Amino acid sequence: MAQRIKLGLIGCLLCFVLLAAGGGSIGGYAQSHDAAGARAAFLEAYKVFAHPRCVNCHPAGDAPLQGDDGHPHAFRVRRGEDGRGVFAAKCSNCHQTQNQSGEHAAPGAPYPPEDREHLSEPRWHLPSSATPLTFEKRSPAQLCRQLLNRKQNGGLAPEQLVHHVSHDPLVLWGWNPGGGRSTPPLSHEDFVQKIREWVEKGCACPK
């Protein structure tokens, strides 16, 4: 028993040394603890977070925004507890599983393929009122800290955030918004790479 305890303590010490030396990982992502590189990567990714395709569904208030100028959504739509609207004014009244045809027509997105229970249902919504995950008017430092706070980001660990921006249909919609809408300044591939790079280099936030 004493020998096992001694070996366990040695193992813990070795783990600590590896982490301190930069050999740690986040969910399988090897970390280099390159703070300057992580900050630079996040600042590039921030260009996407700050774009109207993202900000409009991550507003500072309880109503979604519209257009590249971020004007209030028509019909006085509100977030609601689950982010899908209130009373009869539900997001799914207009937003379906795909973009509607025509200039400025209602956009749409499906659930991820792995969610077979809701596969045929539209997934257009804001974050819930419990975790609104605001992008609007957030500085790079503020947004970075928010994305790392699992009480504010919907419970996502850094590696889950990488998966989210890589595969979630709502995120992917930003690069296929239809209706004459603009797209973010980075390609989706470059955006994902910058988020992955930020995580791999230790998730340091801009100052």
Give the pLDDT score at 32.
Answer: 80
Give the pLDDT score at 119.
Answer: 87
Mean pLDDT across 171-198: 97
Residues 171-195: b if buried by 16+ CB within 10 A, e if exposed:
bebbeebbeebeebebebeebbbbb
Is it the case that residue 28 has pLDDT exceeding 60?
Answer: no
How far apart CA 56 and CA 65 sit, in angstroms, is: 4
Which pLDDT band, with edges at 50, 70 and 90, does 24 fall under? low
Is it the case that residue 13 has pLDDT exceeding 60?
Answer: no
Q: What is the mean pLDDT of the chain?
A: 88
Is it the case that residue 15 has pLDDT exceeding 70?
Answer: no
Distances (CA, A) of 14 to 10, 27, 34, 89, 207: 6, 19, 21, 57, 32
